[in-house]
Amino acid sequence: MKLLHLSDLHLCSSPDAIIYGINPYDNLQKAIANIQAFKDTIDFGVITGDISNDGSKGSYELADISLSILPFPIYVTNGNHDDYHNLIDIEHRKLVYCPRVTRQGIDFLFLNSVAIAEDGTNRSKGHLSDWELERVKRVKDQTNPTIILMHHPVLTSESWMDRRILINRVDFISVVTSIPQIVAVLSGHNHRSFKKIIGSCLFSTSPSVSTSYSDFLRPYEEANSPGFDVLEIEGNNVSFNTVNTR
């Protein structure tokens, strides 16, 4: 199975919007042009959140229309910039939200890692509720290899990015690494590619389709390395290739 992993499109309702000096819509079109070269080999795609930058209905429609040119289904989960209801509750042509998907004998479990602040807004840092952690724990009762998808990463980089990751990451990693059926955890949010194997599980953060950051640059300084991941999955074995679209 070949899986396309996109993250952090950060679209606004206008295709002319500029974020940190970058036009997210233009970068999405560059990504799509790259994907077109091998689109017929992809079984399906996932987007691990922040499809929108402003949560507007127009931004999701822009993403939906743009990605509809691709011939495979695309499943999504939400990020801290997304409006949950505009993304999840509205039926789109291409973007599909489903808490759990099974394809070719592999389970894909989509988690909501967005933490809500006291004022009701989404926080930059993520948090998995007890209910979401319980969904992960129930994987041990399944037989299929399982891949978890969520917006917030769990790996530290000893940089400014660590203030943006999952708050209860230690508990999550402890649960994941105790369940051999979980073969990979895919995330986004930090706008740069980072991979690490813990135990037998691949923890993979996809680069951002829009703006890109680096451990070695100032916070939110553009690193000029947007892109996406393509993963090949054979049973419990997961390998990846990162495509830079700049």
3-state SS, 211-223, equals: CCCCCCCCCCCCC
Residue type, 230: V
Quick check: 146 pLDDT over 90? yes
The number of beta carbons lying within 10 Å of the beta carbon of residue 40 is 8
Dump pLDDT digits (tens) for 177-198: 999 999 999 999 999 999 999 9
Give me the mean pLDDT over the 201-222 stretch.
Answer: 93
Residues facing 244 on adjacent strands? 227
> Residue 239: its pLDDT value, please?
95
Ordered by where they begin, the domains of the chain are 2-244 (3.60.21.10)
CA distance 114 to 49: 10
pLDDT reported for residue 149: 98
Which H or E run includes 122? Answer: strand 122-126
pTM of the predicted model over 0.85: yes
- Inter-helix orientation angle 24-36/57-67, to 10°: 20
Give 151's pLDDT tier (boundaries 50, 70, 90).
Answer: very high
Question: Alpha-carbon distance 154 to 61, whole Å?
Answer: 30
Neighbours of 38 (CB within 10 A): 12
**pLDDT digits 0-9 by tens, 33-82:** 999 999 999 999 999 999 999 999 999 999 999 999 999 999 999 999 99
E runs forming strands in 7-73: 44-48
Q: What is the pLDDT of residue 219?
A: 87
Per-residue pLDDT of 128-144, as tens digits, reads 999 999 999 999 999 99
Say whether pLDDT at 223 is over 90.
Answer: no
pLDDT at 89 over 90: no
Q: How far is CA 85 from the centre of its chain?
A: 18
C-alpha pair distances (Å), 112 with each of 41, 122, 135, 182, 214: 29, 12, 11, 17, 25
